[in-house]
Amino acid sequence: MITLLVNGRSVEVDDDPATPLLYVLRGTLALNGAKFGCGLGQCGACTVIVDDAPVYSCLTPIAALHGRRITTVEGLGTQQDPGPLQRAFIAEQAAQCGYCIAGMMLRAHALLMRDPSPTESAIRGALEPGLCRCGTHLRILRAVRRASRELASARSGGTADTRP
């Protein structure tokens, strides 16, 4: 049994310790957010955040994750109560097929936690490992900029919801 801390909840899983996190999230924990895209660390569809950094869950065995904080897109909010980053993606209608988007949002989330007002090149740099085949890139960029703006105004206005 390995204990994983996923979106603030502690869960025990009986998968083989060599199993990449992606399969445990999607299989044992029935979370849809992280996607299988390549299994090779080349596309970012499987991106989740471990502690504070984006990682490819398709390459990271759960043996390496005992007791570390894992955030998936489910941890950013729900359909009924979307978080600020999700709201920004909805406002910009930043998806076509949407398959890449969870990974993109988590890269953006990790960036905004580190740097709430990133430059354009910092945003592009953070998203660079993520592939989008539908050509939604510009909308994704707009959504991240919007989230950053809204975070800044929430902070200065003292609004509680400052989770990216």
Site of interaction with ligand FES (CB under 6 A): 36-46, 56, 58, 95-101, 132-134, 136
The residue ranges that bind another protein (CB under 8 A) are 15-16, 19-20, 23, 26-28, 30-33, 35-40, 42-43, 45, 72-74, 76-79, 82, 86, 89-90, 93, 95-102, 105, 124-125, 127-128, 130-139, 141
* Coil vs helix vs strand at 13: strand
Which one of ligand FES, another protein, none interacts with residue 116, CB within 5 to 8 A by kind? none
Token couple for 136: 């939604």
Token couple for 48: 């989740």
Considering the complex, state which of residue 46 and residue 151 has its C-beta at the smaller distance from ligand FES. 46
Token couple for 129: 């490992």
Nearest to 39 by CA among 14, 51, 57: 57
User: From CA 106, how far away is CA 85, in angstroms rounded?
Assistant: 9
Considering the complex, state which of residue 8 and residue 158 has its C-beta at the smaller distance from another protein. 8
Considering the complex, state which of residue 13 and residue 132 has its C-beta at the smaller distance from ligand FES. 132
Which one of another protein, ligand FES, none interacts with residue 155, CB within 5 to 8 A by kind? none
Which one of another protein, ligand FES, none interacts with residue 153, CB within 5 to 8 A by kind? none
Min separation Cβ 117 and another protein, Å: 19
Considering the complex, state which of residue 100 and residue 151 has its C-beta at the smaller distance from ligand FES. 100
* Pairing label, strands 9-13, 69-71: unpaired
> Measuring CA to CA, how many Å separate 47 from each of 63, 91, 158?
17, 23, 31
> Measuring CA to CA, how many Å separate 56 from each of 22, 38, 85, 101, 107?
8, 10, 20, 14, 11
Considering the complex, state which of residue 95 and residue 151 has its C-beta at the smaller distance from ligand FES. 95
Min separation Cβ 25 and ligand FES, Å: 12
User: From CA 102, how far away is CA 72, in angstroms rounded?
Assistant: 8
